[in-house]
C-alpha cells in the first residue's frame, strides 16, 4: 500500500506506511503482520489496507476475502508455531475495547498449557490493544528480532498467494 502526504488518515497507526511495510503476507486489500509485543508466540494481526473502522464497513466480498485470508494466515501460523488451536478477536467499537480505530483481527495461535488459564488470552488481548505495536510495558521484540520473524513468516506464508 502506498500512502501520500494527502492521506487523510496519517494519524492512524495502521494507515502509516511503515506499518504496512512490515507485513509478512498480503492480498491486494489486506495485510498480515506480526505483533511486536506478542501476548503469545505467533500473535499476529490482519488489517484492511484501506482505513475501515468497523467490520460493518466491509462489503460482503471484502469480508469474505478478509476471512479467507485470515484463515490461511492462521493455518500457516499454527504450523509454524506448532500449535493445535487459535483465538481470533475483533474488538469493534470503543465499548468493545477497540483502541486503534482501524479494523484489525488478532490471531493468537494456541497450544495446551500456554497460559495458566486457557481463557486468559482475552484479558491479554485487551492489554495488547492498549499497547499495540508500541508497548513500553511488555516484553517487546527488538528491531532485529522483529525483522527476523517477519522474514521467516514471509517464507512460511509464501504459498498463500500462489
Residue from 7, 9, 89, 99 that binds Zn ion (CB under 5 A)?
Answer: 9
Give yes or no for residue 1 binding Zn ion (CB under 5 A). no
Please tell me which residue in 51, 104, 106, 131 is annotated as part of the active site.
Answer: 104
Residue bearing cell 521467516: 152
Task: Using CB under 5 A, count the residues that bind Zn ion.
Answer: 6
Strand-pair category, 30-34 with 44-48: antiparallel
State whether residue 39 is helix, strand or coil: coil
Residues 53/101, Cβ–Cβ less than 8 Å: yes
Interacting residue with Zn ion among 1, 3, 12, 141 (CB under 5 A): 12
**Helix, strand, coil shares of the chain as percentages rounded to 5?**
40, 15, 45
Distance from C-alpha of 27 to C-alpha of 40, rounded to nearest angstrom:
25
Q: Does 98 bind Zn ion (CB under 5 A)?
A: no
Residue 104 a catalytic site member = yes
Site for Zn ion contains 16 (CB under 5 A): no
Residue whose Cβ sits closest to Zn ion: 12
Residue 52 interacting with Zn ion (CB under 5 A): no
- Give residues in contact with Zn ion (CB under 5 A): 9, 12, 14-15, 51, 102
Amino acid at each position: 500500500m502506498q500512502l501520500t502526504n494527502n492521506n487523510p488518515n496519517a494519524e492512524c497507526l495502521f494507515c502509516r506506511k511503515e506499518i504496512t511495510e512490515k507485513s509478512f503476507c498480503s492480498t491486494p486489500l489486506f495485510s498480515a503482520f506480526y505483533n511486536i509485543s506478542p501476548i503469545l508466540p505467533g500473535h499476529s494481526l490482519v488489517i484492511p489496507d484501506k482505513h475501515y473502522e468497523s467490520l460493518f464497513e466491509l462489503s460482503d466480498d471484502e469480508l469474505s476475502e478478509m476471512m479467507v485470508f485470515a484463515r490461511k494466515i492462521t493455518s500457516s501460523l499454527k504450523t509454524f508455531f506448532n500449535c493445535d488451536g487459535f483465538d481470533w478477536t475483533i474488538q469493534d467499537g470503543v465499548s468493545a475495547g477497540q483502541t486503534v480505530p482501524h479494523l484489525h483481527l488478532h490471531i493468537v495461535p494456541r497450544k495446551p498449557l500456554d497460559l495458566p488459564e486457557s481463557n486468559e488470552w482475552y484479558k491479554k488481548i485487551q492489554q495488547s490493544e492498549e499497547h499495540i505495536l508500541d508497548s513500553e510495558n511488555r516484553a517487546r521484540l527488538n528491531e532485529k528480532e522483529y525483522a527476523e520473524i517477519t522474514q521467516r513468516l514471509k517464507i512460511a506464508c509464501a504459498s498463500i498467494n500462489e
